[in-house]
Each structure stands twice: as structure tokens, then as C-alpha cells.
Amino acid sequence: MELPNTTENRVLASAVNARIKSDARLLNARAALYRLAGIGILCALTGVGIGAAFYGYSYANDPTFPTAKVANAVAEALQKVTFKTEGTVKLDPESAIAVNGGRSDVPTPTPAQLGAGAVPESKAAVLTNFTVFKNVPYGSGQVVTGWNFTSSEQKSPSHQYCYYSEQIDGTSKVTIDLGENGRPLPQAKARTNVDPAVAYTNCVWFRSGAI
């Protein structure tokens, strides 16, 4: 079919050709975009794969990895484990135990010191007791502490007393009572220059195991 070569037909033909060329360019642009997108995705995946490969290689070849992993595993296991043991400790029947240090018992006088055979002229019964004295030099005299025991079997004194004693001359002696049974006594005006409160600190009161 041949159209007449009129001005309107020429304008229409030009418009159709322009539209066809525009559509062709649009299709080519889309195709190029898809190709570039595919290439970009491929490159990205390739980079990720290479990075993962290098990371895995470095992780596997890290010399500290196995040791640290094992140490952490052992530490966690030990924290969750409770060790229990039962047993009885026995001493050898033939063994002996020695205790080093001071004596814990009260010193016992010898039979000669006790004078067991001594009796009064009246032949009355005799009750034997004894006193342990502790002397501490102080000032011009000494602080004396006495522990009274009613028998040699007694483990602690039945009575204690403490006093200060000072020889004034060849025949005179000054005595100041300081305390009884671990407690200070009220003091009157002293006849010497000794401070009773300070002298009292030199009393040696009985303590179990202190003899």
C-alpha cells in the first residue's frame, strides 16, 4: 500500500521512526544495565568468597586458637564439677604426740618441799596448801603476785593477790596492796613515791596455760 507523499504523511512517518528509535535505545539501555548489575553482583560474590577463604585460612592457622579453645573448655568444665571425697584419718597406735611450749599444769612441789611427815606437837590433822609467787622488779622494790592453791591437784588457784613491797632500811618494809583475783583495790595515799596504778600493771594474774 503506497501512501501519498503529503506533508501530513511525512510528519507522521518521522514521528513513528523517532518513536521506534527511542524504544530501541531504551531496550539497549536496559540490557546494558542488567549486564552491569550482573557483573557487579558476580564481583561482589567473588570478593566475599575470597575474603571468607582468607579469614578461614588465617583462623585455622592461628597457633593460639587450639590452646585457647582447650583452656576455655577445661575451665568451664572445672567450674561445673564438684569433687567429693570421704575418708578417716587415724593415728598409729604406737605413735606419740609431743606438745611444745610452756607447761599447762600447775607446778607441783616435791615431797620434800611438802614435808608430808611434819606434824604439830598437838598431833592435830594437817591440811597442806601452797602458794606460787611471781616477782616483778619495779622502782626501788618489787611487785609480788601470789597464787594460792589448796592442794597439788588443783589446776587453778583458789585465790590471788598482788602487792608492792619495798625495803626502807634494814628493819622496815613498806607494803602496798594492789589487787585481788585480777581486780585492782582502791588506794589510799601511798607512803612512797610509787604510783599504785602503774605498779598494778606489773601484777601477774593466773591464766590457764600461762605457768
For residue 98, being part of any structural domain is answered with: no
pLDDT score, position 104: 46
- Same domain assignment for residues 73 and 118: no
Last residue of a domain, one of 77, 101, 130: 77
For residue 185, being part of any structural domain is answered with: yes
- Same domain assignment for residues 115 and 71: no
The answer to whether the CB of 200 falls within 8 A of the CB of 179 is yes
- Same domain assignment for residues 126 and 186: yes
- Same domain assignment for residues 115 and 196: yes
For residue 104, being part of any structural domain is answered with: no
pLDDT score, position 164: 93
- Same domain assignment for residues 71 and 121: no
For residue 1, being part of any structural domain is answered with: no
Stretches where the chain sits below pLDDT 50 are 102, 104, 209-211
Domain that holds residue 50: 7-77
How many domains are there within the chain?
2
Query: Cα separation of 161 and 176, whole Å?
Result: 11
pTM given for the model: 0.44
pLDDT score, position 102: 47
pLDDT score, position 84: 65
The answer to whether the CB of 128 falls within 8 A of the CB of 114 is yes
Last residue of a domain, one of 77, 96, 125: 77
Q: Which residue has the cell 606438745?
A: 99
pLDDT score, position 51: 78
- pLDDT tens, position by position, 52-79: 777 777 666 665 556 666 677 767 776 7
The answer to whether the CB of 179 falls within 8 A of the CB of 196 is no
Ordered alpha helix ranges (H), the chain: 7-60, 64-80, 111-114, 196-200
The answer to whether the CB of 159 falls within 8 A of the CB of 148 is yes
- Same domain assignment for residues 119 and 64: no
- Same domain assignment for residues 65 and 122: no
For residue 13, being part of any structural domain is answered with: yes
- pLDDT tens, position by position, 111-133: 777 676 788 889 888 877 888 99
- Same domain assignment for residues 191 and 118: yes
For residue 159, being part of any structural domain is answered with: yes
For residue 2, being part of any structural domain is answered with: no
Query: Cα separation of 145 and 163, whole Å?
Result: 7
What's the grid cell of residue 21?
528509535
pLDDT score, position 204: 95
